[in-house]
A and B are shown apart, each in its own frame.
Chain A
């Protein structure tokens, strides 16, 4: 009977006050833990820096892959097949060939580069002007830049198209610059796999760092934990500050990783745009977007939480009554 009464009393207080108690305890614990970490800036800073550097590496690699992908996206447009016609084919004949090719289903678009415009382009590139003036007549052939349909872009299909173009009577030769692009895509895929691999490895590292830090904190607070257990603290209550500490380590580590990567991008912005200008291109280096930042921060908080969860569960079970 007294047992029942005690239990029903407990349930009453719990039901009525639970949301308020729960919220205020969590808020208090979160704040308290944060300031306790700030009380020892050096050890906290070192742990945070280790986490930050660990996370900055895969994040930086991700940014690299992302920028390369953007760059390659621009090149996809130029993934054309160049059909060089015989030198004696004039512009009028070329136009009839174009209209003939436009009926082919695998071709999306054809750009006619006349002999004159090719010559102009050559002149514009510079350095060739003198050489071209020496020549009695225009040595350049008509070129058709052929853009295949998006649905017709696998290497095998492009190979077939290339063979078909070669059979045209006026075709001199066909060039397809897709091999290097395929290689580039393969490298990109490799880097992306590397991001995942490095990310998981260093994520495990973060787990261990946080776990070990929390383990040491638990050992330091052994007596306090024991006394709290003596006066009736629940396991959840004792666990809570350590879990918050883990989450704070994660968040601060994630923020410093973001800072490191963002600073690196700012430093690289100038040299990259200089390099791009040498290639007559304008290439803005993109940083960590909203999504990537969100993933880094939530991932780092999660890693911190899991790391401390493991440590707390291992070390609080050792104080059970025998």
Chain B
């Protein structure tokens, strides 16, 4: 599903962020991405979502070669990749419903179908009753769940999360991670960047460790 082959990413101002990274993830696999701050976790995720292009190397996501994907195809690629951010990236002036509906609205889906799918996604994250609320009225954990609902509403085969529990307490973090596991069961490929090593160890999934832009460890903890 996700294939990295000798990927390098160099920023003009910061130098090399990723050095010779290669790995493969199969369909329906869930993996954690750990490493110290600045190790290149976010860069790696941004490359998969095509927010950045690699300096060298090949990246294949869902059969698409991102190196050769023309600019006009980027939106269609992003619809295949759900992204979750630490700061949620919600629109503060729109309701929970409208925020979650955004990925469907941009595809031109009809009103009824949008409503049906948004409610299904909100139901999955347990926020069905807050659909009219504005994001500011929600707690941090709830806001993150809105972000997750938005990422999964278009039923993408790939889900990326960048420090999704960075601001949450351990109980809420575990709740979110268990939510991710449920998506894995239905065949979604998940890659989650996190600092939370304790939680990572306890959840027994494949774990990549980045150090100074290199993939220094790829373990299956079981």
Contacts and interface: CB of A to CB of B under 8 A. Distances in A.
Interface of A: 1-3, 6, 10, 17, 21-22, 24-25, 223-224, 226-235, 237, 320-322
Given A6-B80, A230-B83, A232-B154, A224 B91 contact: yes
B108 A321 contact: no
21 contacts: A2-B62, A2-B63, A6-B63, A6-B80, A10-B76, A24-B108, A229-B75, A230-B51, A231-B79, A231-B103, A231-B150, A232-B77, A232-B79, A232-B154, A234-B72, A234-B75, A237-B75, A320-B71, A321-B51, A321-B74, A322-B52
Contact of A231 (B51, B78, B110): B78
Given A1-B63, A234-B75, 15 more contacts: A6-B62, A10-B76, A21-B108, A24-B108, A24-B110, A227-B102, A228-B106, A230-B78, A231-B83, A231-B102, A232-B78, A232-B103, A232-B106, A233-B75, A321-B51
Contact of A17 (B74, B108, B150): B108
Q: Chain B at the A interface: mostly helix, strand, loop or mixed?
A: loop
Nearest to A320: B71
Interface in B31-49: 49
Interface in B62-106: 62-64, 71-72, 74-80, 83, 89-91, 102-103, 106
A22 B107 CA distance: 11
Q: Closest 3 CB pairs between A and B?
A: A2-B63, A232-B79, A233-B106
B53 interface: yes
Q: Chain A at the B interface: mostly helix, strand, loop or mixed?
A: helix
B146 interface: no
Interface string B96-129: 0000001100111010000000000000000000
B106 A231 contact: yes
B106 A237 contact: yes
A232 B76 contact: yes
Interface size class of B (residues with CB under 8 A): 20 to 34
B50 interface: yes
Contacts of A25: 108
Which of B77, B79, B150 gathers most chain A CB within 10 Å? B79
B64 A3 contact: yes
A231 B104 CA distance: 9
Contacts of B150: 231
B21 to A, nearest CB: 18
Nearest to B151: A231
A25 B111 CA distance: 11
Nearest to B62: A2
